[in-house]
Structure 1
Amino acid sequence: MNTTTLASTTRLNPVSRTLPVLLAMEDDAEDVGRLSPDDRLTCHVHGRWIHQCVASPLHVNPITRHRWCRSCATALTVSIDELSGDVTMFCPRCGHGESAASARLIAACRASLAAARRRFGAQAA
Protein backbone atom coordinates (compact mmCIF):
# COMPACT_ATOMS: atom_id res chain seq x y z
CA MET A 1 0.00 0.00 0.00
CA ASN A 2 1.43 3.34 -1.03
CA THR A 3 0.27 6.21 1.16
CA THR A 4 1.25 9.83 0.90
CA THR A 5 0.95 12.92 3.00
CA LEU A 6 -1.81 15.35 2.17
CA ALA A 7 0.61 18.27 2.01
CA SER A 8 2.35 16.71 -0.98
CA THR A 9 -0.85 15.75 -2.80
CA THR A 10 -1.95 18.49 -5.15
CA ARG A 11 -5.23 16.71 -5.88
CA LEU A 12 -6.31 17.24 -2.28
CA ASN A 13 -5.11 20.84 -2.04
CA PRO A 14 -6.60 21.99 1.29
CA VAL A 15 -6.48 25.69 0.34
CA SER A 16 -8.95 25.29 -2.48
CA ARG A 17 -11.39 23.13 -0.48
CA THR A 18 -13.96 23.91 2.16
CA LEU A 19 -13.69 21.91 5.36
CA PRO A 20 -16.67 19.63 4.56
CA VAL A 21 -15.31 18.91 1.08
CA LEU A 22 -11.82 18.22 2.41
CA LEU A 23 -13.28 15.91 5.10
CA ALA A 24 -15.08 13.89 2.42
CA MET A 25 -12.01 13.81 0.17
CA GLU A 26 -9.77 12.62 2.99
CA ASP A 27 -12.32 9.96 3.97
CA ASP A 28 -12.35 8.68 0.39
CA ALA A 29 -8.55 8.81 0.04
CA GLU A 30 -8.12 6.96 3.34
CA ASP A 31 -10.70 4.33 2.37
CA VAL A 32 -8.82 3.44 -0.83
CA GLY A 33 -5.38 3.48 0.84
CA ARG A 34 -4.08 6.69 -0.74
CA LEU A 35 -3.89 8.58 2.57
CA SER A 36 -2.61 7.37 5.90
CA PRO A 37 -4.95 8.10 8.84
CA ASP A 38 -1.96 9.74 10.57
CA ASP A 39 -1.58 12.25 7.74
CA ARG A 40 -5.14 13.58 7.77
CA LEU A 41 -5.60 17.32 8.25
CA THR A 42 -9.21 16.78 9.26
CA CYS A 43 -10.88 14.62 11.90
CA HIS A 44 -13.59 12.30 10.64
CA VAL A 45 -14.93 11.84 14.19
CA HIS A 46 -15.33 15.51 15.11
CA GLY A 47 -15.74 16.98 11.62
CA ARG A 48 -13.09 19.63 12.29
CA TRP A 49 -9.50 20.48 11.48
CA ILE A 50 -7.32 18.02 13.41
CA HIS A 51 -5.60 20.81 15.37
CA GLN A 52 -9.01 21.92 16.69
CA CYS A 53 -9.88 18.61 18.34
CA VAL A 54 -6.62 16.75 18.93
CA ALA A 55 -6.88 17.47 22.69
CA SER A 56 -10.03 15.33 22.88
CA PRO A 57 -9.70 12.10 24.87
CA LEU A 58 -10.82 10.27 21.71
CA HIS A 59 -7.43 11.05 20.17
CA VAL A 60 -5.51 9.20 22.90
CA ASN A 61 -4.49 5.66 21.96
CA PRO A 62 -2.26 3.64 24.31
CA ILE A 63 -1.87 0.88 21.72
CA THR A 64 -0.46 3.05 18.93
CA ARG A 65 1.00 5.63 21.38
CA HIS A 66 -0.87 8.54 19.84
CA ARG A 67 -0.86 11.14 22.65
CA TRP A 68 0.30 8.48 25.13
CA CYS A 69 3.30 8.17 27.45
CA ARG A 70 4.02 4.46 27.76
CA SER A 71 6.32 4.74 30.78
CA CYS A 72 3.80 6.76 32.83
CA ALA A 73 0.63 5.25 31.32
CA THR A 74 -0.68 8.79 30.94
CA ALA A 75 -2.32 10.80 28.17
CA LEU A 76 -0.09 13.54 26.79
CA THR A 77 -1.06 17.16 27.29
CA VAL A 78 -1.55 19.10 24.05
CA SER A 79 -0.62 22.73 23.55
CA ILE A 80 -1.47 24.51 20.30
CA ASP A 81 -0.59 28.12 19.60
CA GLU A 82 -2.65 29.14 16.59
CA LEU A 83 -0.71 32.41 16.17
CA SER A 84 2.78 30.92 16.02
CA GLY A 85 1.71 27.53 14.67
CA ASP A 86 3.55 25.76 17.49
CA VAL A 87 2.20 22.36 18.52
CA THR A 88 3.58 20.41 21.47
CA MET A 89 2.61 17.25 23.31
CA PHE A 90 4.16 16.21 26.59
CA CYS A 91 3.53 13.94 29.53
CA PRO A 92 2.20 15.85 32.55
CA ARG A 93 4.05 13.41 34.85
CA CYS A 94 7.53 13.02 33.35
CA GLY A 95 7.57 15.82 30.78
CA HIS A 96 8.46 13.46 27.93
CA GLY A 97 6.28 10.84 26.24
CA GLU A 98 7.65 11.13 22.72
CA SER A 99 6.67 8.51 20.17
CA ALA A 100 6.67 8.19 16.41
CA ALA A 101 2.86 8.20 16.44
CA SER A 102 2.65 11.43 18.41
CA ALA A 103 5.33 13.00 16.20
CA ARG A 104 3.17 12.26 13.15
CA LEU A 105 0.14 13.68 14.95
CA ILE A 106 2.09 16.85 15.74
CA ALA A 107 3.10 17.14 12.07
CA ALA A 108 -0.53 16.68 10.99
CA CYS A 109 -1.63 19.38 13.45
CA ARG A 110 0.99 21.80 12.12
CA ALA A 111 -0.12 21.11 8.55
CA SER A 112 -3.76 21.49 9.59
CA LEU A 113 -3.01 24.86 11.19
CA ALA A 114 -1.20 26.03 8.08
CA ALA A 115 -3.98 24.83 5.77
CA ALA A 116 -6.67 26.49 7.90
CA ARG A 117 -4.67 29.75 7.90
CA ARG A 118 -4.19 29.64 4.11
CA ARG A 119 -7.86 28.80 3.69
CA PHE A 120 -8.87 31.73 5.90
CA GLY A 121 -6.47 34.02 4.02
CA ALA A 122 -7.91 32.90 0.67
CA GLN A 123 -11.44 33.65 1.88
CA ALA A 124 -10.47 37.09 3.20
CA ALA A 125 -8.80 38.11 -0.08
Structure 2
Amino acid sequence: MTTTTLASTTRLNPVSRTLPVLLALEDDAEDVGRLSPDDRLTCHVHGRWIHQCVASPLHVNPVTRHRWCRSCATALTVSVDELSGAVTMACPRCGHGESTASARLITACRASLAAARAQAATRVA
Protein backbone atom coordinates (compact mmCIF):
# COMPACT_ATOMS: atom_id res chain seq x y z
CA MET A 1 0.00 0.00 0.00
CA THR A 2 1.30 3.44 -0.92
CA THR A 3 0.41 6.45 1.21
CA THR A 4 0.92 10.12 0.55
CA THR A 5 3.17 12.51 2.34
CA LEU A 6 2.70 16.17 3.10
CA ALA A 7 4.77 17.03 0.04
CA SER A 8 2.53 14.95 -2.19
CA THR A 9 0.57 16.52 -4.98
CA THR A 10 -2.53 14.68 -3.75
CA ARG A 11 -2.62 16.85 -0.61
CA LEU A 12 -6.31 17.68 -1.29
CA ASN A 13 -5.63 21.43 -1.66
CA PRO A 14 -6.56 22.44 1.91
CA VAL A 15 -6.77 26.18 1.15
CA SER A 16 -9.73 25.75 -1.17
CA ARG A 17 -11.65 23.52 1.28
CA THR A 18 -13.62 24.37 4.40
CA LEU A 19 -12.58 22.49 7.52
CA PRO A 20 -15.60 20.11 7.48
CA VAL A 21 -15.02 19.30 3.80
CA LEU A 22 -11.30 18.71 4.34
CA LEU A 23 -12.07 16.48 7.35
CA ALA A 24 -14.33 14.32 5.18
CA LEU A 25 -11.84 14.23 2.29
CA GLU A 26 -8.98 13.22 4.59
CA ASP A 27 -11.17 10.53 6.22
CA ASP A 28 -11.96 9.09 2.79
CA ALA A 29 -8.34 9.30 1.59
CA GLU A 30 -7.12 7.60 4.76
CA ASP A 31 -9.77 4.86 4.48
CA VAL A 32 -8.64 3.91 0.97
CA GLY A 33 -4.93 4.07 1.82
CA ARG A 34 -4.09 7.27 -0.07
CA LEU A 35 -3.24 9.26 3.07
CA SER A 36 -1.22 8.24 6.10
CA PRO A 37 -2.86 9.11 9.45
CA ASP A 38 0.39 10.89 10.38
CA ASP A 39 0.03 13.28 7.44
CA ARG A 40 -3.48 14.53 8.18
CA LEU A 41 -3.97 18.27 8.60
CA THR A 42 -7.23 17.65 10.43
CA CYS A 43 -8.15 15.57 13.47
CA HIS A 44 -11.00 13.12 12.94
CA VAL A 45 -11.44 12.75 16.72
CA HIS A 46 -11.78 16.45 17.59
CA GLY A 47 -13.04 17.75 14.24
CA ARG A 48 -10.42 20.51 14.22
CA TRP A 49 -7.15 21.44 12.57
CA ILE A 50 -4.47 19.14 14.02
CA HIS A 51 -2.43 22.07 15.39
CA GLN A 52 -5.46 23.13 17.47
CA CYS A 53 -5.82 19.85 19.37
CA VAL A 54 -2.41 18.16 19.24
CA ALA A 55 -1.84 18.96 22.93
CA SER A 56 -4.81 16.73 23.88
CA PRO A 57 -3.92 13.58 25.83
CA LEU A 58 -5.66 11.62 23.07
CA HIS A 59 -2.72 12.43 20.78
CA VAL A 60 -0.19 10.69 23.06
CA ASN A 61 0.68 7.14 22.03
CA PRO A 62 3.51 5.30 23.84
CA VAL A 63 3.42 2.42 21.33
CA THR A 64 3.98 4.53 18.21
CA ARG A 65 5.89 7.23 20.16
CA HIS A 66 3.59 10.05 19.06
CA ARG A 67 4.22 12.74 21.69
CA TRP A 68 6.02 10.21 23.89
CA CYS A 69 9.50 10.07 25.46
CA ARG A 70 10.43 6.42 25.68
CA SER A 71 13.36 6.87 28.06
CA CYS A 72 11.33 8.90 30.59
CA ALA A 73 7.96 7.20 29.91
CA THR A 74 6.39 10.66 29.77
CA ALA A 75 4.11 12.53 27.40
CA LEU A 76 5.83 15.33 25.49
CA THR A 77 4.64 18.87 26.06
CA VAL A 78 3.48 20.77 22.99
CA SER A 79 3.89 24.41 22.06
CA VAL A 80 2.09 25.87 19.05
CA ASP A 81 2.75 29.54 18.37
CA GLU A 82 0.11 30.60 15.88
CA LEU A 83 1.79 33.96 15.25
CA SER A 84 5.23 32.66 14.31
CA GLY A 85 4.10 29.25 13.07
CA ALA A 86 6.51 27.47 15.43
CA VAL A 87 5.54 24.01 16.69
CA THR A 88 7.70 22.19 19.23
CA MET A 89 7.45 19.07 21.36
CA ALA A 90 9.75 18.19 24.24
CA CYS A 91 9.88 15.91 27.25
CA PRO A 92 9.22 17.88 30.45
CA ARG A 93 11.76 15.67 32.27
CA CYS A 94 14.78 15.36 29.97
CA GLY A 95 14.00 18.02 27.36
CA HIS A 96 14.31 15.54 24.50
CA GLY A 97 11.95 12.73 23.45
CA GLU A 98 12.41 13.01 19.70
CA SER A 99 10.95 10.30 17.51
CA THR A 100 10.06 9.89 13.87
CA ALA A 101 6.37 9.79 14.81
CA SER A 102 6.54 13.06 16.72
CA ALA A 103 8.56 14.69 13.94
CA ARG A 104 5.83 13.77 11.45
CA LEU A 105 3.21 15.15 13.84
CA ILE A 106 5.14 18.43 14.10
CA THR A 107 5.32 18.61 10.29
CA ALA A 108 1.57 17.98 10.04
CA CYS A 109 0.90 20.68 12.64
CA ARG A 110 2.98 23.22 10.74
CA ALA A 111 1.16 22.37 7.52
CA SER A 112 -2.19 22.55 9.32
CA LEU A 113 -1.33 25.95 10.72
CA ALA A 114 -0.28 27.22 7.29
CA ALA A 115 -3.46 25.87 5.68
CA ALA A 116 -5.67 27.44 8.36
CA ARG A 117 -3.91 30.78 7.89
CA ALA A 118 -4.24 30.64 4.11
CA GLN A 119 -7.89 29.69 4.37
CA ALA A 120 -8.55 32.60 6.75
CA ALA A 121 -6.75 34.97 4.37
CA THR A 122 -8.92 33.88 1.44
CA ARG A 123 -12.08 34.51 3.48
CA VAL A 124 -10.91 38.06 4.29
CA ALA A 125 -9.89 38.87 0.71
Q: Which TM-score bucket, shorter chain as reference? A: over 0.9
For the residue of structure 1 that corresponds to 2:78, the secondary structure is: strand
Rounded Cα–Cα distance in structure 1 between residues aligned with 2:30 and 2:79 = 27
The aligned residue for residue 61 of structure 1 is 61
User: CA deviation digits over 1:55-79, x for unaligned, max 9?
Assistant: 0000000000000000000000000
The aligned residue for residue 49 of structure 2 is 49
The aligned residue for residue 22 of structure 1 is 22
Rounded Cα–Cα distance in structure 2 between residues aligned with 1:50 and 1:19 = 11
Rounded Cα–Cα distance in structure 2 between residues aligned with 1:25 and 1:7 = 17
For the residue of structure 1 that corresponds to 2:89, the secondary structure is: strand
Superposed displacement of residue 7, structure 1: 4.8
Say if 1:65 and 1:102, in contact at 8 Å, map to a contact too.
yes
TM-score, with structure 1 as normaliser: 0.97
The aligned residue for residue 93 of structure 2 is 93
Unaligned stretches of 5+ residues in structure 2: none
Q: CA RMSD in A?
A: 1.0
For the residue of structure 2 that corresponds to 1:51, the secondary structure is: helix
Point out the structure with the larger helix share. Answer: 1
Superposed displacement of residue 5, structure 1: 2.2
Q: Which stretches of structure 1, 4 residues or more, deviate above 3 A after TM superposition?
A: none
Superposed displacement of residue 39, structure 1: 0.1
Pick closer, same or farther for the CA change 1:98–1:6 going to 2, 3 Å.
closer
Say if 2:3 and 2:36, in contact at 8 Å, map to a contact too.
yes
Superposed displacement of residue 8, structure 1: 2.7
Deviating more after overlay: 6-15 vs 56-65: 6-15
User: CA deviation digits over 1:28-82, x for unaligned, max 9?
Assistant: 0000000000000000000000000000000000000000000000000000000
Rounded Cα–Cα distance in structure 1 between residues aligned with 2:26 and 2:7 = 12
For the residue of structure 2 that corresponds to 1:78, the secondary structure is: strand
